[in-house]
């Protein structure tokens, strides 16, 4: 069924096509041509204009040959840096880069698996319903491709996102909401040696606020983190401004609000204590999703894996993905483990058997 050598060669070829975030066009055009050759109708949307990328999202459709439910498959085309000039190599059944770049299995392993499955479906004339594909841009750094998809273009009400580091057979049914929290403390400059009491230290305010925050693992469903902090100049000047960027995440939307409000209050209290001021911006990056473990999308994956002898488990994720956005737009989607190992690092790698099993699962889902 799966042509393992063709699948492996496809993946190795894909990762050598540069597609860093916002520069996905070359890869998108190659995928567009290959999808059309497989008989799909393909369009590129206008997400480039909305996001600043040089490419839009790819939306592709394959008409079914049987009365079955329409299903969506999705993976993202962009890769994190450093991802130019990737040189993949295979060592003892595992694919690595040469160590100077990431590998790009996140998410080209997902794309290669979908493409191989489509080719198998076509070559073998297998029975399937309507199949819809969304290959998105700008997933890394904000899910901006999926946020700018025109969901009226899709008929599918269930979907499968192939973009998780778990084993093939892992079904991510729950993912967190995230708030971005940007903070600027504003104090008053003064000479730190001559008249420090005339100043208001933005550093002191920021330190007070952060020291009073519940951070990192807040509870089993909630996390929070200060990502970057900057400000100040010479040691003999009381610092006027300090800026920091933070985030809060939770599997529970109410808990996310509670945590975000807590962090804002810590900032406001610190500014008041020292007589300065603070500007705080809270922006929701994406909402949480929670797909019931008895949902038909979950059952479909379990059935597919059962036929293949692959063990399944339902689990949660601490990270965001396009899955969050699809669920928020009426497509009940789960994220699937595809064997991404150490993504976003120079040690990223992918076991060949995981790539093969992922493609096999996709074929079974397309047939289901």
Q: Decide the pairing of beta strands 170-175 and 313-316.
A: parallel
Q: Which two tokens stand for residue 349?
A: 């790698």
Give just the sign of the alpha carbon dihedral 313, 318, 320, 325: positive
Whether 57 and 171 share a structural domain: yes
CA 61 to chain centre: 23
Whether 18 and 148 share a structural domain: yes
Kindly give, in sequence order, each residue whose CB lies less than 8 Å from that of residue 325, ignoring residues fewer than 6 positions away: 143, 146, 147, 149, 286
- Which of these is catalytic: 23, 24, 45, 78? 78
Domain extent at residue 212: 177-286
Query: Per residue in 168-202, pLDDT tens?
Result: 999 999 999 999 999 999 999 999 999 999 999 99
Q: What is the rounded CA–CA span in Å between residue 156 and residue 135?
A: 15
Whether 280 and 336 share a structural domain: no
- Which of these is catalytic: 116, 139, 140, 332? 139
Q: Which single residue is written with the structure tokens 């396009």?
A: 322
DSSP string covering 227-279: EEEEE---TTB---EEEEEEEEEESSHHHHHHHHHHHHHHHHHHHHHHT-EEE
Where do the DSSP E strands lie in the chain?
41-44, 58-62, 71-76, 89-91, 94-96, 131-136, 158-164, 170-175, 177-186, 216-219, 222-231, 241-250, 277-286, 289-290, 313-316, 332-337, 349-351
Confidence category of residue 264, pLDDT binned at 50, 70, 90: very high
Whether 89 and 109 share a structural domain: yes
Whether 78 sits among the annotated catalytic residues: the reply is yes
Q: Exposure string (b/e) for 308-347, b if CB count within 10 Å is 16 or more?
A: eebebebeebeebbbbbbbbbeebbbbbbbbbbbebeeee
For residue 232, the model assigns a pLDDT of 96
For residue 357, the model assigns a pLDDT of 98
Domain closes at, from 258, 286, 314: 286
Whether 166 and 302 share a structural domain: yes
Domain closes at, from 251, 286, 321: 286
Phi-psi region of 142 (alpha: psi -120 to 50; beta: other; left: phi over 0): left
For residue 188, the model assigns a pLDDT of 98
Domain closes at, from 286, 316, 332: 286
Whether 190 and 165 share a structural domain: no
Over range 273-302, report the average pLDDT: 97
The CATH number covering residue 254 comes to 3.30.70.360
CA separation (Å) from 15 to 45, 51, 80, 257, 349?
23, 23, 12, 39, 12
Whether 222 and 355 share a structural domain: no
Whether 317 and 268 share a structural domain: no
Over range 306-313, report the average pLDDT: 98
Whether 203 and 167 share a structural domain: no
Whether 20 and 122 share a structural domain: yes
Q: Is the pLDDT of residue 1 over 90?
A: no
Q: Is the pLDDT of residue 130 over 90?
A: yes
CA separation (Å) from 115 to 72, 165, 217, 239, 334?
13, 19, 39, 55, 19
Q: 346 pairs with which residues across the strands?
A: none
For residue 139, the model assigns a pLDDT of 98
Whether 170 sits among the annotated catalytic residues: the reply is no
Query: Per residue in 70-122, pLDDT tens?
Result: 999 999 999 999 999 999 999 999 999 999 999 999 999 999 999 999 999 99
Percent of the chain predicted with pLDDT > 70: 100
Query: Per residue in 6-38, pLDDT tens?
Result: 999 999 999 999 999 999 999 999 999 999 999
The CATH number covering residue 69 comes to 3.40.630.10
CA 52 to chain centre: 18
Q: Exposure string (b/e) for 8-19, b if CB count within 10 Å is 16 or more?
A: bebbbebbebbb
Query: Per residue in 225-263, pLDDT tens?
Result: 999 999 999 999 999 999 999 999 999 999 999 999 999
Kindly give, in sequence order, each residue whose CB lies less than 8 Å from that of residue 240, ignoring residues fewer than 6 positions away: 186, 187, 188, 189, 202
Whether 221 and 101 share a structural domain: no
pTM higher than the cut 0.75: yes
Whether 270 and 193 share a structural domain: yes
Q: How many independent structural domains does the chain possess?
A: 2
């Amino acid at each position: 069924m799966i042509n393992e050598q063709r699948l492996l060669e496809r993946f190795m070829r894909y990762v050598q096509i540069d597609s860093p975030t916002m520069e996905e066009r070359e890869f998108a055009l190659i995928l567009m041509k290959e999808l059309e050759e497989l008989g799909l109708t393909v369009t590129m949307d206008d997400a480039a204009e909305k996001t600043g990328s040089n490419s839009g999202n790819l939306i592709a459709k394959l008409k079914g040959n049987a009365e079955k439910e329409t299903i969506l498959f999705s993976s993202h085309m962009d890769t994190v840096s450093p991802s130019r000039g990737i040189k993949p190599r295979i060592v003892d059944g595992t694919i690595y880069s040469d160590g100077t770049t990431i590998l790009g299995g996140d998410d080209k392993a997902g794309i290669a698996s979908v493409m191989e499955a489509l080719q198998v479906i076509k070559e073998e004339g297998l029975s399937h319903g309507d199949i819809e594909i969304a290959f998105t841009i700008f997933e890394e750094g904000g899910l901006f491709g999926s946020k700018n998809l025109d969901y009226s273009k899709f008929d599918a009400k269930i979907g499968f996102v192939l973009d998780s580091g778990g084993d093939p057979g892992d079904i991510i049914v729950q993912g967190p909401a995230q708030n971005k929290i940007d903070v600027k403390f504003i104090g008053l400059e003064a000479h730190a040696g001559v008249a420090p009491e005339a100043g208001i230290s933005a550093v002191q305010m920021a330190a007070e606020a952060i020291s009073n925050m519940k951070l990192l693992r807040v509870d089993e469903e909630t996390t929070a983190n200060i990502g970057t902090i900057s400000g100040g100049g010479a040691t003999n000047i009381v610092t006027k401004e300090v800026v920091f960027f933070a985030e809060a995440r939770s599997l529970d939307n109410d808990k996310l609000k509670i945590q975000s409000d807590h962090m804002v209050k810590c900032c406001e209290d610190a500014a008041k204590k020292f007589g300065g001021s603070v500007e705080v911006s809270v922006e929701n990056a994406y909402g949480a999703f929670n797909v019931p473990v008895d949902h038909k999308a979950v059952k479909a994956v379990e059935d597919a894996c059962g036929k293949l002898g692959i063990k399944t488990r339902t689990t949660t994720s601490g990270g965001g993905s396009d899955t969050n956005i699809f669920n928020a737009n009426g497509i009940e989607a789960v994220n699937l483990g595809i064997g991404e190992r150490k993504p976003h690092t120079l040690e990223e790698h992918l076991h060949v058997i995981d790539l093969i099993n992922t493609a096999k699962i996709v074929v079974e889902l397309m047939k289901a």
